[in-house]
Amino acid sequence: MPIISGQSGGGSTSPGYEIGYDQITSGVNIASTTESAGTTIITCAAHTFDGALVMVEFFSPFVTDSSVSSLTIVSLFESSTQISRLANTSASNAAQQSSVALTGRYRFTPSAGSHTYTVTAFANSTTGTPAIGAGAGGTGAYPPCFVRFTKV
CATH of 18-151, one of 2.30.42.10, 2.60.120.760, 2.40.37.10, 3.90.400.10: 2.60.120.760
Query: What is the pTM for the complete model shown?
Result: 0.88
Residue 11: pLDDT over 90: no
Q: What is the mean pLDDT of residues 60-77?
A: 89
The pLDDT tens digits for 14-41 are 999 999 999 999 999 999 999 999 999 9
For residue 113, what are the β-bridge partners?
A: 49
**To the nearest whole percent, how much of the chain has pLDDT over 90?**
74
pLDDT score of 138: 96
Q: What distance in Å separates the CA atoms of residue 72 and residue 98, rounded to the nearest whole number?
A: 11
Question: For the residues of 23-71, what is the DSSP string, one character each?
Answer: EESS-EE-----GGGPEEEEEPPPEEE-SS-EEEEEEEEEEEPPSS--E
Give residues with Cβ within 8 angstroms of 6, minimum separation 6. Answer: none
Provide the pLDDT confidence category of residue 93 given band limits of 50, 70 and 90. Answer: low
Contact 63, 131 (CB under 8 A): yes
Three-class secondary structure of residue 22 per DSSP: strand
